Amino acid sequence: MEKQFLIDDLKSGESWRMFKIMGEFVDGIENLHDVGPAVSIFGSARTKPKDPNYKKAEELAALLAKNNFSVITGGGEGIMEAANKGAAEAGGTSIGLNIILPFEQQPNPYANIQLEFKYFFIRKVMFVKYAQAYIIMPGGFGTLDELFEAVTLIQTKRIQPFPVILVGSDYWGGLFEWIKARLLTDKMISEEDIDILQVMDDPEEIVAFLKKMVIL
């Protein structure tokens, strides 16, 4: 009897979790539905304000805002903070999709639209659903996760293709060359899959490229 009560309690907990998941989806859709053309920017939460990559993310986000793009980040520190700051101070829409973690992730004060998520997968849906491009600044495992999630969805045609830009040839060049040397050579991917990725350095060049690729 005690075992049955435990099973019933677990079932009830799973059912209520579904309502929480639905609530996060509804909250995200209601708040982001009208953001207009947007670019999701990813990168390390550990990047400090004096780091050149912080400055570059801030400059890039400001240029995007001045060219009528909304900027979406993970809402935390480091590159995310830099991008939210650049967009907000340029007068643009600066969106932070914060994730609740036991360490490291704290919401930055620069997002003028701030949402909080418990579930990673819902947050990922929002990054993709409202983005016309992905910009990948230097980062760690979380950044790589977002990068390859987007590339896989484009490759398998689960979403419409959009630009995926790796910012920093010094940082990403080795990975890009490895993808070509191993994945492509070993026929793990096809030639057209390589075209999903762009490696670029200059913020003005990146924004000019996006303006050609994205309908504003």
* Interval 120-169: pLDDT, tens: 899 999 999 999 999 999 999 999 999 999 999 999 999 989 999 999 99
8 Å CB contact between 35 and 112 = no
Residues 56 and 11 in one domain: no
- What residue has token string 């639209």? 113
pLDDT at 11: 55
Range of the domain at 183: 38-213
Question: Which residues fall within 8 angstroms of residue 98, CB to CB, at 6 or more apart?
Answer: 74, 75, 76, 105, 107, 114, 115, 116, 117
pLDDT at 14: 72
Q: Give the model's confidence band at 15: pLDDT under 50 very low, under 70 low, under 90 confident, else very high.
A: confident
106 plus 147 within the same structural domain: yes
Residue 28 confidence (pLDDT): 87
Same domain flag for 71 and 178? yes
Q: Give dist(CA 2, CA 8) in Å, integer.
A: 10
Q: What is the 3-state secondary structure (H, E, C) of 71-107?
A: EEECCCCCHHHHHHHHHHHCCCCEEEEEECCCCCCCC
Give the span between the Cα atoms of 185 and 181, in whole angstroms. 6
pLDDT tens, residue by residue, 56-112? 999 999 999 999 999 999 999 999 999 999 999 999 999 999 988 766 567 899 999
* Bridge partners, residue 185, by sequence: none
Q: Residues 6 or more apart from 154 whose CB is under 8 A from it?
A: 161, 162, 164, 196
Q: What is the pLDDT of residue 5?
A: 40
pLDDT digits 0-9 by tens, 106-117: 789 999 999 999
21 & 55 share domain: no
Instruction: Name 185's Cβ contacts closer than 8 Å, sequence gap at least 6.
Output: none
In this structure, what CATH number is given to the domain that contains residue 155? 3.40.50.450
